[in-house]
C-alpha cells in the first residue's frame, strides 16, 4: 500500500506546448513527499532533532504528457532504509486509472542541520522512518 495525494493540473503548470512542465512534475513529487512526512509526523520529528532528509538523487521516467485540468494521483512509498540513505519510490497516475504519467526513484541522506553533514540512520531516526515505511 502507498500513501497518495491528488493534484489538479492548472494553467500555470503548463509549458508552451500545453502540457505539464518537467519542473511541475518535480514540484508535485515534492509536495507528495511533504504530505507523507506530515501525515506521520516525520517532519516534526526531524525538526525537533535538528535533522533533515535531503534529496541527493532523483531519477524520473516521463511516461505520458499531462494536460490542463487532469487530476493526478501521486503515490509515495518508502522502499528501503539503509545505513546512510533512504529510498522512496513515487508513481504519478492519471486519477482513477492505471495510466502511469511518470515514476521516480528518490534517494535521501539524513543530514545533521548543525554540522550540515550526513549522519547514519540509527536510533530514533531509524525507528521513525521504519514506522513511516511500515505504516503504508
Give tens-digit pLDDT for 95-125: 999 999 999 999 999 999 999 999 999 999 9
Q: Please choose, from the candidates 77, 98, 70, 67, the residue with its C-alpha nearest in 3D space to the C-alpha of residue 29.
A: 77
pTM of the model: 0.91
Q: Rounded to an integer, what is the distance from CA 132 to the centroid of its chain?
A: 13
Tell me the pLDDT tens digit for each residue of 83-93.
Answer: 989 999 999 99
| 89 part of the active site | no
Which element (helix H / strand E) includes 91?
A: strand 85-94
Tell me the pLDDT tens digit for each residue of 26-45.
Answer: 999 999 999 999 998 999 99
Which position has the grid cell 494521483? Answer: 73
Pairing of the two strands 85-94 and 51-62: unpaired
DSSP letter, residue 18:
S
Going through 9-84 in order, the beta strands assigned E by DSSP cover 51-62, 71-81
**Residue of 3, 15, 43, 50 marked catalytic:** 15
3-state SS class at 100? strand
**Domains of the chain (ranges, CATH numbers):** 3-135 (3.10.129.10)
3-state SS class at 121? coil
Amino acid at each position: 500500500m502507498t500513501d497518495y495525494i491528488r493534484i489538479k493540473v492548472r494553467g500555470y503548470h503548463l509549458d508552451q506546448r500545453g502540457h505539464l512542465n518537467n519542473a511541475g512534475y518535480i514540484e508535485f513529487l515534492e509536495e507528495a513527499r511533504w504530505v507523507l512526512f506530515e501525515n506521520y509526523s516525520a517532519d516534526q520529528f526531524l525538526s525537533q532533532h535538528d535533522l533533515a532528509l535531503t534529496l541527493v538523487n532523483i531519477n524520473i521516467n516521463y511516461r505520458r504528457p499531462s494536460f490542463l485540468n487532469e487530476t493526478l494521483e501521486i503515490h509515495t512509498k518508502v522502499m528501503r532504509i539503509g545505513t546512510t540513505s533512504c529510498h522512496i519510490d513515487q508513481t504519478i497516475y492519471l486519477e482513477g486509472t492505471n495510466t502511469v504519467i511518470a515514476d521516480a526513484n528518490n534517494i535521501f541522506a539524513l543530514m545533521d542541520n548543525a554540522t550540515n553533514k550526513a549522519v547514519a540512520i540509527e536510533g530514533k531516526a531509524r525507528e521513525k522512518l521504519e514506522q513511516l515505511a511500515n505504516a503504508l
